[in-house]
């Protein structure tokens, strides 16, 4: 038997898994399986906890890339202060629900048409290089608008214990810190509306001390760069890095400690940043735990003494759970039988998807209550980097339905996946 | 500098990369970047080499999962003896270009509606378990048709040196060999049209000896099972396993040696298989080397002494090249500047995609001629498990165009990716 991660607290209690006030099996019956159900109450709880923990006045941005599902974006937008996008496609979605002044666009390979659209709309571009800065200034000249430009900084530190390190080394992301002051001076001299700094040093960290240290380093770096540039940044985007527990042994990030330390850091911040606003941008932390992937057992088979539950879903919908996206060591996401959450684990089984490839393993030798064809399996932590971060066309199966459950004003009905 | 794999021989000569008789840069200009171009002449050359190497009478099947692009499938179908599919969606595509009697459907999680459609159409189901056999017989009873059923065998050996092992262990795929004879007897007793055995012991092997050994073991196993079942299999599908060179140090599979050994093995096959046909099913080996992913340099940036070429493509189109799909150790696929194939490598650069994630690295510290924004980069080995095996919706970028070049009767024009 191999361990699996913890079921998110909101789903860990009842015997029947309930999403947005309704049994998971009822959602599965109505929408068909496989489907993703996102429980908006969990997202609201995360936002409320974050607001309570973080210092007053800190802006909270949602990074759309984690989950761009339309109804979910509609419901989140009014509850955050900004949206961060990573493509022209994401920008178009963001502009439908948020003023351009609260949208920023990061990413190392922005095409000219994306830059032009952002400048015309008034979206802030987080510049990833001097070359991109030159293109943005040239395009702004043609568009005839003072472009809103922030500088993404490749910091000289990284987020310790991060699942994905993005600082402290040569990087496609951002301008090396030592070259930033000259670039800021140039942007201002050329008439751009300089919006400040964006620093993103890593993601998926569960250690509060590591986040605290990174935020303190980021504030110090921003002050140093502002001093050297001779200009106060209107906004310092401190990045994210807040992780969620996916695997056995993972514990939730202590956001109270992060918020307390950040409050102290901002209260004592250097004079160069007195007038600056600060933001954090979170994707995964806001939405990952709210999502559950529901898939139905099609076959139960024995092979050489092992038992396999073959389900109608797979890595074409939830690649990350198969351990094939950005992870070196495969670890089991939390998995349960949706209507027998508290039944004793009575056997060790592997939960495999319907794809004809050995990569398609959603649970590797996990302990579960006995299950038979027809049972609905819940795979948790499916709210971020799920439906859109998976190879949906692989092997020609239908896409998964996506449902936002429990959002006031949002339709509590299945919505087909209309992603491209 | 890190090494990269070998450019496929058909593309390794000229200074200007030519696909289907036309410069890659011309395709890129017409279709826009990023795009996949599949050169049908390379596929035809593979099929011809295979026919020449393999014993006369051996059936060659194409496994659609490797590349289901419509025009490519249309062009391949008349040149092979059968198609193997892995979903109802793939089956529908296959039925449009091939008689049902030459189509087989494998995969561990076939839904009832897929089984019913296959039986009604006359497609052979490769049964993955006794449970699936029972469902197929029950559904056939309702449909009122004698179902065409083969038994997929979980063999008691594996393909040595295989990139993906699928035998010799507990498996979601196939029925353990020792239980197969009873199942065959049951299928025949219940009136099914028993089609034979399917054995797939692994994939992506470059060692001819390993393939030879696996094929010999498969023939011996099929004979043993036929003897025990008291029935001669109409077809023995020997599986595939033929690998292609992706990385530095990889050498092409010596198919001549495989074919010679197979001819001897079939000539001397046990009496139980005298009347049987034999097939091999290949996906990757037929199409991988024919495909090139073309992507344009958007930015060239320096960071801490390293140079990055940021391109307009990325892992959302070609996940495998980023090392994030089924590989433990990342190795560089072959990469070139499309119009300067023979120019001397003059610098070490990393080729990174446009996605805002450190996972999106298509070439890690490769040696290339100097490149600037606007240059077209060719990433080879993109013909199999590319467009459909990548998370196309990730970060909201447009899909890549796909083009079949050089097929008589096929349109030599860009075809938008109409994949779901």
Where is the domain boundary, B264, B282, B300? B282
What is the nearest CA distance from B13 to chain A, expressed in angstroms? Answer: 31
The verdict on A66 touching B (C-beta cutoff 8 Å) is no
Where is the domain boundary, A256, A282, A308? A282
Let me know: does A185 contact B317? Beta carbons within 8 Å. Answer: no
In angstroms, rounded to a whole number, what is the distance separating the alpha carbons of residues A184 and A231? Answer: 8
Which of B105, B133, B172, B200 is the best substitution to test chain A (most A C-beta atoms within 10 A)? B172
Which residues lie across from B153 on neighbouring strands?
B175, B199
Q: Determine the pLDDT at residue A161.
A: 77
> Do the chains contact at B299 and A128, CB–CB below 8 Å?
yes
Q: Model confidence at B324, in pLDDT bands (50, 70, 90)?
A: confident
The verdict on A329 touching B (C-beta cutoff 8 Å) is no
In the predicted model, is pLDDT for residue B416 greater than 90?
no
What is the nearest CA distance from B267 to chain A, expressed in angstroms? Answer: 32
Within 10 angstroms of residue B36's Cβ, the number of other Cβ atoms is 27
In the predicted model, is pLDDT for residue A62 greater than 50?
yes
In angstroms, rounded to a whole number, what is the distance separating the alpha carbons of residues B92 and B90? Answer: 5
Pair (B100, B211) in one structural domain: yes
What is the nearest CA distance from A70 to chain B, expressed in angstroms? Answer: 12
Q: Indicate the residue of B166, B299, B306 with minimum beta-carbon distance to A129.
A: B299
- Alpha-carbon dihedral of residues A338, A340, A341, A344, nearest 10 degrees? -140
Contacts of A301 in chain B (CB under 8 A): 108, 128-131, 172
In angstroms, rounded to a whole number, what is the distance separating the alpha carbons of residues B320 and A242? Answer: 28
Pair (A234, A332) in one structural domain: no
Instruction: Pick the closest to residue A193 from A147, A135, A234, A231 (CA basis).
Output: A147
- Alpha-carbon dihedral of residues B15, B20, B25, B26, nearest 10 degrees? 130
Instruction: Pick the closest to residue A315 from A352, A283, A350, A348 (CA basis).
Output: A352
Q: What is the CATH number of the domain that holds B361?
A: 2.40.37.10
The verdict on B347 touching A (C-beta cutoff 8 Å) is no
User: pLDDT tens, B36-87?
Assistant: 999 999 999 999 999 999 999 999 999 999 999 999 999 999 999 999 999 9
In angstroms, rounded to a whole number, what is the distance separating the alpha carbons of residues B279 and B55? Answer: 11
Let me know: does B174 contact B152? Beta carbons within 8 Å. Answer: yes
Contacts of A308 in chain B (CB under 8 A): 108, 170-172
Joined together, the tokens standing for residue B362 give 């298509």
Pair (B220, B331) in one structural domain: no
Query: Does A412 or B289 have the greater pLDDT score?
Result: B289
- Tracing tokens 């399986």 back to the chain, one arrives at A33
Pair (A145, A264) in one structural domain: yes
Q: Determine the pLDDT at residue A89.
A: 98
Strand A175-176 to strand A18-19: parallel, antiparallel, or no bridges (unpaired)? unpaired
Pair (B142, B251) in one structural domain: yes
What is the nearest CA distance from B339 to chain A, expressed in angstroms? Answer: 22
Joined together, the tokens standing for residue B359 give 């996972």
Q: Determine the pLDDT at residue B420.
A: 31
Let me know: does A338 contact A300? Beta carbons within 8 Å. Answer: no
Which of A313, A348, A357 is the best substitution to test chain B (most B C-beta atoms within 10 A)? A357
Is residue B62 a part of any domain in this protein? Answer: no
Contacts of B390 in chain A (CB under 8 A): 391
Q: Determine the pLDDT at residue B168.
A: 72
Query: What is the residue-wise DSSP string for B317-371?
Result: T-GGGGT-SS-SS--BPPEEETT-TTSPP-EEEEEE-SSSSTT-EEEEEEEE---
Phi, psi (degrees; rounded to nearest 5) at B224: -60, -45
Q: Determine the pLDDT at residue A165.
A: 66
What is the nearest CA distance from A216 to chain B, expressed in angstroms? Answer: 23
Joined together, the tokens standing for residue A29 give 């019956």
In the predicted model, is pLDDT for residue B226 greater than 60?
yes
> Do the chains contact at A393 and B387, CB–CB below 8 Å?
yes
Q: Determine the pLDDT at residue B417.
A: 38
Three-state DSSP class for residue B131: helix
Contacts of A85 in chain B (CB under 8 A): 396
Cα end-to-end span (Å), chain A? 39
**Cβ partners under 8 Å of residue B16, min gap 6:** B23, B24, B25, B338, B339, B341
Contacts of B420 in chain A (CB under 8 A): 392-393, 398-399
Mean pLDDT of chain A: 95
In angstroms, rounded to a whole number, what is the distance separating the alpha carbons of residues B16 and B24? Answer: 8
- Give the chain B residue whose CA is nearest to the CA of A163: B358
Pair (A107, A221) in one structural domain: yes
Is residue B4 a part of any domain in this protein? Answer: no
Q: Between residues 110 and 139 of chain B, which touch chain A (CB distance below 8 Å)?
A: 110-111, 128-132
Instruction: Pick the closest to residue B358 from B404, B396, B308, B393 (CA basis).
Output: B308
Is residue A137 a part of any domain in this protein? Answer: yes
User: pLDDT tens, B145-195?
Assistant: 999 999 999 998 888 877 766 677 899 999 999 999 999 999 999 999 999
Pair (B205, B82) in one structural domain: yes
CA distances from B96 to A260, A261, B100 (A): 64, 64, 9
Pair (B139, B271) in one structural domain: yes
Is residue A212 a part of any domain in this protein? Answer: yes
Question: How would you label B279-310 residue by residue, b for 16+ Cβ within 10 Å and e otherwise?
Answer: bbbbbbbbbbbbbbbbbbbbbbbebeeebbbb
Is residue A411 a part of any domain in this protein? Answer: no
In the predicted model, is pLDDT for residue B414 greater than 50?
no
User: pLDDT tens, A224-260?
Assistant: 999 999 999 999 999 999 999 999 999 999 999 999 9
Let me know: does A405 contact A19? Beta carbons within 8 Å. Answer: yes
Q: Determine the pLDDT at residue A408.
A: 67
Instruction: Pick the closest to residue A58 from A244, A227, A260 (CA basis).
Output: A260
Which of A391, A392, A400 is the best substitution to test chain B (most B C-beta atoms within 10 A)? A391
Q: Determine the pLDDT at residue B160.
A: 83
Joined together, the tokens standing for residue A112 give 């000219």
- Give the chain B residue whose CA is nearest to the CA of A354: B109
Pair (A155, A251) in one structural domain: yes
Which element (helix H / strand E) includes A151?
strand A148-154
Task: Count up the domains in chain B and report the number.
Answer: 2
The size of the A-B interface in CB pairs under 8 A is: 231
Q: Determine the pLDDT at residue A10.
A: 96
Enumerate long-range contacts of A134-138, CB under 8 Å, 24 or more apart.
A136/A192, A137/A187, A137/A190, A137/A192
| Domain region containing A336 | 9-38+288-405
Which of B200, B357, B360, B387 is the best substitution to test chain A (most A C-beta atoms within 10 A)? B357
- Give the chain B residue whose CA is nearest to the CA of A373: B131
Is residue B98 a part of any domain in this protein? Answer: yes
User: pLDDT tens, B348-403?
Assistant: 999 999 999 999 999 999 999 999 999 999 999 999 999 999 999 999 999 999 99
Phi, psi (degrees; rounded to nearest 5) at B236: -115, 110
Which of A165, A303, A323, A419 is the best substitution to test chain B (most B C-beta atoms within 10 A)? A303
> Do the chains contact at A420 and B392, CB–CB below 8 Å?
yes
Rg (CA), chain B: 22
Averaged pLDDT for residues A141-150: 97
Where is the domain boundary, B219, B250, B282? B282
Is residue A84 a part of any domain in this protein? Answer: yes
Pair (A222, A92) in one structural domain: yes
Report CA A155 to chain centroid distance, whole Å: 21
Q: Determine the pLDDT at residue B282.
A: 98
Tell me the percentage of chain B whose pLDDT exceeds 70: 96
- Give the chain A residue whose CA is nearest to the CA of B64: A395
Q: What is the DSSP letter of B7?
A: P
Tell me the percentage of chain B whose pLDDT exceeds 90: 90
Joined together, the tokens standing for residue A144 give 């005839």
Let me know: does A263 contact A269? Beta carbons within 8 Å. Answer: no
Which residues lie across from B368 on neighbouring strands?
B347
Q: Determine the pLDDT at residue A160.
A: 83
Contacts of A93 in chain B (CB under 8 A): 396
- Give the chain A residue whose CA is nearest to the CA of B354: A109
Pair (A135, A13) in one structural domain: no
Let me know: does A261 contact A7? Beta carbons within 8 Å. Answer: no
Let me know: does B301 contact B81? Beta carbons within 8 Å. Answer: no
In angstroms, rounded to a whole number, what is the distance separating the alpha carbons of residues B8 and A168? Answer: 37
- Give the chain A residue whose CA is nearest to the CA of B33: A111
> Do the chains contact at A310 and B109, CB–CB below 8 Å?
yes
Q: Model confidence at B326, in pLDDT bands (50, 70, 90)?
A: confident
Q: Determine the pLDDT at residue A359.
A: 94
- Rounded-to-5 percentages of helix, strand, coil across chain A: 35, 25, 40
Is residue A345 a part of any domain in this protein? Answer: yes
Let me know: does A6 contact A370? Beta carbons within 8 Å. Answer: no
Pair (A128, A13) in one structural domain: no
> Do the chains contact at A173 and B392, CB–CB below 8 Å?
no
Q: What is the CATH number of the domain that holds A238?
A: 3.20.20.10
Three-state DSSP class for residue A305: coil
Largest alpha-carbon pair distance within chain A? 72
Three-state DSSP class for residue A225: helix
Averaged pLDDT for residues B283-292: 98
**Cβ partners under 8 Å of residue B88, min gap 6:** A396, A397, B111, B113, B114, B117, B118
In angstroms, rounded to a whole number, what is the distance separating the alpha carbons of residues B8 and A405? Answer: 50
Catalogue the E-assigned strands of A92-147: 103-105, 124-127
User: pLDDT tens, A208-221?
Assistant: 999 999 999 999 99
Let me know: does A149 contact A202? Beta carbons within 8 Å. Answer: no
pTM of the model: 0.96
CA distances from B219 to A26, B199, B225 (A): 48, 10, 10
- Give the chain B residue whose CA is nearest to the CA of A93: B396
């Amino acid at each position: 038997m191999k361990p699996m991660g913890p079921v998110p607290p909101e789903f860990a209690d009842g015997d029947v898994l309930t999403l947005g006030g309704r049994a998971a099996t009822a959602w599965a019956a109505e929408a068909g399986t496989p489907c993703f159900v996102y429980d908006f109450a969990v997202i609201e709880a995360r936002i409320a906890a974050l607001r309570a923990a973080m210092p007053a006045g800190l802006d909270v941005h949602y990074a759309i890339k984690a989950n761009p599902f339309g109804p979910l974006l509609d419901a989140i937008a009014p509850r955050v202060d900004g949206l961060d996008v990573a493509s022209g496609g994401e920008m178009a979605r963001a502009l439908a629900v948020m003023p351009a002044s609260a949208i920023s666009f990061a990413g190392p390979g922005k095409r000219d048409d994306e830059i032009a659209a952002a400048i015309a709309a008034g979206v802030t571009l987080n510049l990833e290089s001097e070359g991109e800065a030159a293109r943005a200034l040239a395009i702004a000249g043609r568009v005839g608008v003072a472009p809103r430009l922030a500088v993404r900084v490749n910091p000289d530190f990284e987020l310790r214990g991060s699942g994905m390190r993005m600082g402290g080394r040569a990087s496609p992301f951002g301008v090396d810190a030592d070259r930033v002051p000259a670039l800021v001076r140039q942007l201002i001299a050329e008439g751009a509306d300089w919006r400040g700094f964006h620093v993103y040093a890593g993601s998926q960290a569960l250690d509060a001390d590591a986040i605290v240290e990174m935020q303190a380093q980021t504030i110090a770096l921003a002050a140093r760069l502002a001093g050297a540039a001779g200009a106060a940044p209107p906004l310092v985007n401190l990045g994210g890095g807040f992780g969620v527990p996916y695997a056995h042994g993972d514990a939730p990030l202590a956001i109270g400690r992060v918020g307390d330390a950040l409050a102290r850091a901002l209260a004592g911040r250097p004079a160069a940043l007195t007038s600056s606003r600060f933001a954090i941008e979170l994707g995964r932390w806001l939405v990952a735990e709210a999502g559950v992937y529901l898939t139905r057992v099609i076959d139960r088979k024995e092979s050489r003494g092992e038992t396999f539950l073959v389900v109608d879903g797979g890595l074409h919908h939830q690649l990350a759970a198969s351990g094939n996206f950005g992870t070196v060591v495969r670890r089991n996401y939390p998995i349960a039988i949706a209507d027998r959450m508290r039944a004793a684990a009575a056997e060790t089984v592997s939960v495999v998807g319907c794809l004809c490839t050995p990569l398609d393993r959603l649970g590797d030798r996990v302990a579960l209550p006995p299950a038979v064809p027809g049972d609905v399996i819940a795979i948790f932590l499916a709210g971020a980097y799920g439906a859109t971060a998976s190879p949906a066309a692989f092997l020609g199966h239908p896409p998964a339905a996506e449902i936002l459950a429990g959002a006031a004003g949002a339709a509590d009905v299945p919505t087909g996946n209309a992603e491209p």
